[in-house]
Structure 1
Amino acid sequence: MTRRTPVYGLDIETDTTVDGLDPGVARILTVALSSDGLDELFTGPEPELLAELDARLASIEPGVIATWNGAAFDLPFIADRAALHGVTIGLRLELDPRIVVRGRALPGHRGAYRCAWHRHAHLDAYRVYKGDVGPALRISCGLKSIARFVGLPVVEVDRERIHDLDQEALHAYASSDARLARVLAERRWASARRAVDSHPVELCPPVDHGRRVAAMRAAADRVPPATPAHQVQVGPRPAPTESPRRAPRDPFADAG
């Protein structure tokens, strides 16, 4: 019997004290890597976090990295942050114009990518479910929505306040998302394996966000301060001056 290819779920969580969706300004707080029976977390200073994650992926059995929208977010985000710190990693990206990105692309990017990392292929499980389950059942293909639909437990937090989570809550959340991506890919493996990325050929260099971020900051500095509101008198209003009243005219005064 042929042994199935190992699947590793991967999820990142980013700093939401700034725009957590912009790799030019937001750092990665943690990365979760989920395999069958083991969830691993990579935290700490970002350069060390990325180097440790890369070393771990280089050391484990070759398989498929499963993400949820990782073609458009997680993996290009990691590539950009590694380049910013000068950390060499085995992640390879090739822009694929056939992948439809709804809404805005990751800042600095033109779309989504086919990916590989060391000897691992990549599967964006979101696009598997988006291609059939979503249209057929007319349901959202967000990770939590699909997980709840099939009866998997989810961990919910305020996505805009990731930075407020303590370490335990942050780790539980990231681990849950990585695990869900893996399990949902495994549940559909018979069909999902056909959606695994082909090997990237025309590799894209990481995006240099320096010029774009500098332009953003310069534009913000040029915004004039808000005009102060007009002063409003808060004391008692002076009594209105009464004008003398004229006696009403007798309509019959001029009658002869």
Structure 2
Amino acid sequence: MGKRPPVYGLDIETDTTVDGLDPGRSRVLAVALSHDGFDEVFDGFEPELLAALDTRLGDLAPGVLATWNGAAFDLPFLADRARRRRVPLGLTLRHDPTIAMRHDPLPGHPGAYRAEWHGHGHVDAYRLYRADVGRTLRVSCSLKSIARLVGLAPVEVDRAGIHDLEREALHAYATSDAHLARVLTQRRWPTAARYVDRLERVLTPPPVALRASVA
């Protein structure tokens, strides 16, 4: 069995002044990265935080980005905001129609995506836990529910009021979610390894492939 690669938890928080679910109307307020050796948050002026995040990911040792519903939300949201802000990212998304959706996709998107970012793979831990824990125990597979189920203590806030949080509270919340995505992925390795995206296996027409860069 090979050595586990570095796992980097990633979570985004969006402007909930409207609803925070439409990248055409809401900006990214913060992005958190979590690793065994650090927790970092990128915030401030959106183009700068997106560029700083991309630079940081490019500098990190190749590993796996762990998200919670990132295939349908975090990553396409970041890609859309980067294109709007004309910030090139090393993020490649490819729509995979075989990924089951329980909710409507982001506005303007056909569904969920497989992804890679610079040298990092991607695993959507939500889909891993939904496939077995959720199905077997018939429990909610929200990040907070699964975290509490296994004895972890998530930071909780009013999701509708993310835009009203003080900077320290916003950082704590985003960091908690990124940390949980990472830890829950690491606890299920090597099972999680089978869920790491393989873009070359996605059989979709070229127009569906999406790269978050601006020429």
TM norm structure 1: 0.78
Q: Which digits, 9 at most, give the CA deviation of each residue in 1:108-160, with x for residues without a partner?
A: 11100000000000000000000000010111000000000000111010001
**In 1, are the aligned partners of 2:91 and 2:211 still within 8 Å (CA)?**
no
Q: How far apart are 1:2 and its partner, in Å?
A: 4.9
Quote the residue 1:15 is aligned against.
15
**In 1, are the aligned partners of 2:10 and 2:32 still within 8 Å (CA)?**
yes
The percentage of aligned residue pairs carrying the same residue is: 66
Quote the residue 2:61 is aligned against.
61
Structure-1 separation of matches of 2:23 and 2:102: 18
Q: How far apart are 1:199 and its partner, in Å?
A: 2.7
Structure-1 separation of matches of 2:111 and 2:103: 10
User: Does 2:23 align with 1:28?
Assistant: no
Quote the residue 1:224 is aligned against.
none
Structure-1 separation of matches of 2:210 and 2:77: 13
SS in 1 for 2:157: coil
**In 1, are the aligned partners of 2:126 and 2:143 still within 8 Å (CA)?**
yes
Q: How far apart are 1:3 and its partner, in Å?
A: 3.3
Q: How far apart are 1:36 and its partner, in Å?
A: 0.5
TM norm structure 2: 0.93
Q: How far apart are 1:19 and its partner, in Å?
A: 2.4
User: Does 2:73 align with 1:70?
Assistant: no
Q: Which structure is richer in relative contact order (CA contacts within 8 A, separation 6 or more)?
A: 2
Q: Which digits, 9 at most, give the CA deviation of each residue in 1:24-43, with x for residues without a partner?
A: 01000000000012100101
Quote the residue 1:157 is aligned against.
157
Quote the residue 1:125 is aligned against.
125
Structure-2 separation of matches of 1:90 and 1:42: 17
Residue ranges of structure 1 left out of the alignment (5+ in a row): 207-256
Q: Which of 184, 204, 208 lines up with 2:210 in the alignment?
A: 204
Structure-2 separation of matches of 1:50 and 1:101: 27
Quote the residue 1:48 is aligned against.
48
SS in 1 for 2:178: helix
SS in 2 for 1:204: strand
Quote the residue 1:233 is aligned against.
none
SS in 1 for 2:161: helix
> Match for 1:151: what amino acid?
G
Structure-1 separation of matches of 2:109 and 2:88: 20
Across the two proteins, how many residue pairs are aligned to each other? 206
Q: How far apart are 1:67 and its partner, in Å?
A: 0.1
Higher radius of gyration, 1 or 2: 1
Q: How far apart are 1:191 and its partner, in Å?
A: 0.6
Structure-1 separation of matches of 2:49 and 2:169: 18
Structure-2 separation of matches of 1:86 and 1:146: 36
SS in 2 for 1:41: strand
Quote the residue 1:214 is aligned against.
none
> Match for 1:204: what amino acid?
L
Structure-2 separation of matches of 1:205 and 1:167: 31
SS in 1 for 2:52: helix
Q: 1:135 to 1:58 in 2, by over 3 A?
A: same
RMSD: 1.3
